[in-house]
Amino acid sequence: MSEALLSVEGLSVDFRSGGLGRRSFRAVDDASFHIDRGETLGLVGESGSGKSTIGRAILGLAPVSEGSIRFRGQDITHLSRAQRRKSAGGIQVVFQDPYSSLNPSMTIGEILAEPLVARGDRRTGAMEKISTLLRQVGLPADARSRYPRQFSGGQRQRIAIARALALEPELIVCDEPVSALDLTTQAIVLDLFIDIQRRTGVSYLFVSHDLAVIRHISHRVAVMRRGELVEVGDGDQVTSRPEHPYAQRLLLASPVSDPAEQEQRRAERHRLLAEQRSVDSPVSASAVQSPGVRP
Amino acid sequence: MTTTPLALEVDSTDQRRSLLKETLRSPIALGSAVVLVLIALAALLAPWIAPYDPSASDLSDVFAPASAEHLLGADSAGRDILSRLLHGARISLGGALVAVAVALLLGVPSGLVAGYYGGAFDVAVSWLSNLLIALPGIVVLLALQPMTGSSVWTSMVVFGILLAPSFSILVRSTVSNVRNELYIDAAKVSGLSDLRIIRRHVLGVVRAPIIIQTAMILAIALFIQAGLDFLGFGDLAAPSWGGMLNDGFANIFRGPHLLVWPGIVLGITCAALALLANSLRDVMEGATSSGTAGRGRRALVHPTEDAEDALPAPSTTALLEVRGLRVAYSTHGQEPKEVVHGASLRVEPGEIVGVVGESGSGKTQIALSVMGLLPDGGRVTGGELTFEGNPLDPRSTEKLLGRSIAYIPQEPLTNLDPAFTIGRQLVEPLRVVGGLNAAAARKRALELLARVGIPEPSRVFDAYPHQISGGMAQRVLIAGALSGDPELIIADEPTTALDVTVQADILDVLRDLQREQGMAILLVTHNFGVIADLCERVYVMRDGRVVESAPTRTLHDAPREEYTRMLLSHILEHGPSRTALDAEVAEEVRA
């Protein structure tokens, strides 16, 4: 069997807080997963679960303290920036905030040309490529002479996607790319992601807190909590019939738009919480952590 | 050649405006720039345009007044003042330029490296900068005089070193702000080298502040240079403005005009530099603020009549009634822009009503109008607001807020004052509004905290806001909202900033409270799931108008409006999973 496009083994990331205490905080603890070619792995979790940190570690933007990251069979865990330029250009990124991820003083054309020129493309070739990219993400060709502030959030996110596609990556880390968008824009941008994946065969690591978004785009799903992967499995199964208690709570806590069904879901959630409370120590994420009383 | 023609809202004035070009539009800046250019030209062309040799003295002309022969008169040695001024500009300006060049050469690179990489270099540079700043410049220059001698250039190089921190600190702070922008991360991932990132993304940001600082520092250097010469530490043989001042001061009674001319020239030059720097700063700050406000997106306010006749009849039972509300924002000097165009809604006592819409639909504006909390520039321009049948105006609203009407905001943690404990923030309104004494207020606050599901009320009571989580903070704010025994709670996206599991808990708290105490809730949200969970009735908003209102279930099962159907169709929760989607496509391909 051929090797996966990306395989992560026992990944841990520690952040050292500055100051006198020098305590370190483990953001990711012993995470292992893989992503195949043309596949989307959805990474879902709540704030502070470490899901974005995994993405940043893969991109070389967060310090890896243990474990390994292999991309196309090559260990890229501790590559320097210069080495990464040579060998890991196949991994690109789309960030959440479409406002701060584009330099406000550069035109769209300049933003898109940047990675191409850095790679050593010729000016004319880059121009042609930019037209193709803009077409790919559904923006008009004259967008290239405009500035980011002249675009809406959804359009900016298209630009960020175009920039990620410029180097023809094999993997794109998508860090909450639709979270800042309105419902309708969100659906359209998600479909753009899927469309691009079908056409180019690119893989995604799709990080989001929204189970519905994750379900829509992910072939496989990993659920994260407090730095640990608690469940990894088939996308349909994890987003509709999760096995881990936390994944179940997460699913039942996401409200649905049908009032009748939401009422059911709420009742189910209350039942589940009561059940888990009786077998487990503290459950509710918002409850103060006190030693649980075991029956 | 494009596939999807997208309507781009384009600001026509919005091309890359060069800082300088924009600045020169202001008459003050243009005047200053012209003066500076003339002075610089005069200095450059001095040997050709000066009527006399600056050192040629003619004893018959000593203290000669202004005349056709000596346009500005002659000095104590009978030398032509105009010629000396022209030649003196070379030394004075040249000296100042040397100081600034040295300061730039040392300050900018050190600030860049310190700001971009941080670490030990940053610490060292900061320490050195602080040390240099602590040294009084002119005293150091005087103390070093025996070493630098009378050479202007050496002492200006030393002064440049003393000035370097002002650039270094400026550049460092600007760069360390930019370093955390996501576009820098994106550039790293794109494979750009540090050098290229600094050149393309960082230098552009620090360029403008550096230009402004340079103009300021030039004025200072000019002054200090003249000061040294004035004190007699310069080369008295070579003409300079400071040296001329020295000569004039020594002979202030015999030839007062000796002091006047160099004084005027020095003053004008420094003033021009300072004014130019100020104008540059104004343009730069103006550019950032007006750029985001979007000058081009101007929607003229044309009171449309269509909404007027559709106004619902006033209700007799409603707790809160909003009829034909219009809200407009005016930004300085521009026509007010209407954001809510005649919206109407109604909340019956004890009812939970939702307002749902996308960003910019005006849903929050309605909530803020009811409470009279519209931000600066916004105001209600039309319509009626009534609470329990009485019109809401700024004075009556103030009395109702915190009593009959309570508010739960979106960002719980930013709505608690970090300087006070939770308990203090809860007790204060209970005492002021509720008139309770300290002990009773404390008891009531603890009850309220317990009431919103906080397991250890006394611990949270004594905690500061930074010690509790976002979900806990929202519970605290709900407890605060309850303290006045409200009949209406206005909740603006109360769970948007929270995790879903916490959101579910908070929604439970709100539902239970409403069931027990029977207050009405007006809930503003973008999330149909939250609406479904809590609300009995819902208003759908779009572009400042209410497009549809219905009981929640009816709206979900049988939406009347195309827009509502479109919104609902974009909800993903019941969509097929990705596996199913791919299977569909494969099916299509086969067919």
Residue B428 lies in a domain: no
Q: How far is A250 from chain B (nearest CA, A)?
A: 6
Residue B116 lies in a domain: yes
Predicted confidence (pLDDT) per residue in B250-273, tens digit: 888 888 888 888 899 999 999 999
Residue B445 lies in a domain: no
Using an 8 Å CB-CB cutoff, list chain A residues near B16.
107, 147
Among residues B288, B306, B337, the one where a domain terminates is B288
Residue B35 lies in a domain: yes
CB contact under 8 A, A190 and B572: yes
Provide the token pair at B5: 């023609």
Taking the Cβ of residue A254 and every Cβ of chain B, the question of whether any pair is shorter than 8 Å is answered with yes
Q: Do B270 and B341 belong to one domain? A: no
Residue A7's nearest CA partner among A83, A85, A49, A69 is A69
Predicted confidence (pLDDT) per residue in B553-581, tens digit: 999 999 999 999 999 888 887 778 888 88
Residue B388 lies in a domain: yes
Question: Residue B399: its pLDDT value, please?
Answer: 83
Q: Do B218 and B344 belong to one domain? A: no
Q: Do B251 and B331 belong to one domain? A: no
Q: Do B179 and B45 belong to one domain? A: yes
Q: How far is B356 from chain A (nearest CA, A)?
A: 11
Task: Say if residue A286's pLDDT is above 50.
Answer: no
A155, A156, A257, A271: best to mutate for the B interface, most B CBs within 10 A: A257
CB contact under 8 A, B187 and A249: no
Provide the token pair at B179: 């370093």
Predicted confidence (pLDDT) per residue in B330-370, tens digit: 876 677 888 899 999 999 999 999 999 988 888 999 999 99
Size of interface A-B (CB pairs under 8 A): 229
Task: Say if residue B5's pLDDT is above 50.
Answer: no
For the segment B427-445, the average pLDDT, to the nearest whole number, is: 88
Query: Across the interface, which of A114, A183, A287 has its CB nearest the CB of B187?
Result: A114
Task: Say if residue A287's pLDDT is above 50.
Answer: no
Q: Do B158 and B77 belong to one domain? A: yes
Task: Say if residue A36's pLDDT is above 70.
Answer: yes
Q: Is A264 helix (H, G, I), strand (E, B) or coil?
A: helix
Task: Say if residue B4's pLDDT is above 50.
Answer: no
CB contact under 8 A, B572 and A166: no
Using an 8 Å CB-CB cutoff, list chain B residues near A135.
1-3
Residues B193/A74/A198/A127 CA torsion (nearest 10 deg): 20
Cβ atoms of A70 and A76 within 8 Å: the answer is yes
Q: Phi and psi at residue B380, in whole multiples of 5°?
A: -75, 120
DSSP-assigned letter for residue B311:
P
A183, A188, A284, A288: best to mutate for the B interface, most B CBs within 10 A: A183
CB contact under 8 A, B530 and A250: no
pLDDT band at A288 (very low <50, low <70, confident <90, very high): very low
Predicted complex ipTM: 0.83
Q: CA-CA distance, A223 to A204, in Å (whole number)?
A: 16
Task: Say if residue A28's pLDDT is above 80.
Answer: yes
* CA atoms within a 13 Å half-sphere pointing along the CA-CB vector of B12: 1
Residue B176 lies in a domain: yes
Query: Across the interface, which of B204, B469, B553 has its CB nearest the CB of A259?
Result: B553
Task: Say if residue A104's pLDDT is above 90.
Answer: no
Provide the token pair at B491: 């909740």
For the segment A278-283, the average pLDDT, to the nearest whole number, is: 58
Provide the token pair at A70: 């292999």
Q: Do B279 and B384 belong to one domain? A: no
Predicted confidence (pLDDT) per residue in B106-152, tens digit: 999 999 999 988 888 999 999 999 999 898 888 888 888 887 777 78
pLDDT band at B207 (very low <50, low <70, confident <90, very high): confident
Using an 8 Å CB-CB cutoff, list chain B residues near A226.
none
Residue B294 lies in a domain: no
Please give the distance of CA B461 from its chain centroid, rounded to a whole number: 34
Residues comprising chain A, all counted: 295
Q: Do B40 and B143 belong to one domain? A: yes
Q: CA-CA distance, A135 to A20, in Å (whole number)?
A: 53
Using an 8 Å CB-CB cutoff, list chain B residues near A156.
none
* Threshold 0.80, pTM exceeds: no
Q: Judging by DSSP bridges, how do beta strands A6-16 and A24-35 pair with one another?
A: antiparallel
B476: left (phi over 0), alpha (psi -120 to 50) or beta: alpha
Q: Do B44 and B193 belong to one domain? A: yes
Q: Do B264 and B370 belong to one domain? A: no
For the segment B74-97, the average pLDDT, to the nearest whole number, is: 87
DSSP assignment of A11-24 equals EEEEEE--SSS--E
Cα nearest neighbour of A133 on chain B: B2
Provide the token pair at A96: 């959440």
Residue B546 lies in a domain: yes
Q: Which domain holds residue B281?
A: 19-61+68-288
Q: Indicate the angle between helix axes A108-119 and A153-165, nearest 10 degrees.
A: 10
A136, A197, A258, A268: best to mutate for the B interface, most B CBs within 10 A: A258
Q: Phi and psi at residue A124, in whole multiples of 5°?
A: -65, -40
Q: CA-CA distance, B308 to B317, in Å (whole number)?
A: 22
Among residues B288, B310, B329, the one where a domain terminates is B288
For the segment B81-91, the average pLDDT, to the nearest whole number, is: 88
Question: Residue B300: its pLDDT value, please?
Answer: 38
The tally of domains found in chain B comes to 2
How many percent of chain B have pLDDT more than 70?
92
Question: Residue A126: its pLDDT value, please?
Answer: 87
Taking the Cβ of residue A284 and every Cβ of chain B, the question of whether any pair is shorter than 8 Å is answered with yes
Among residues B237, B271, B288, the one where a domain terminates is B288
B181, B190, B197, B507: best to mutate for the A interface, most A CBs within 10 A: B190
The CATH number linked to B577 is 3.40.50.300
Q: Do B133 and B42 belong to one domain? A: yes
Q: Do B271 and B193 belong to one domain? A: yes
The CATH number linked to B256 is 1.10.3720.10
Q: Do B249 and B355 belong to one domain? A: no
Query: Across the interface, which of B14, B188, B552 has its CB nearest the CB of A147?
Result: B14
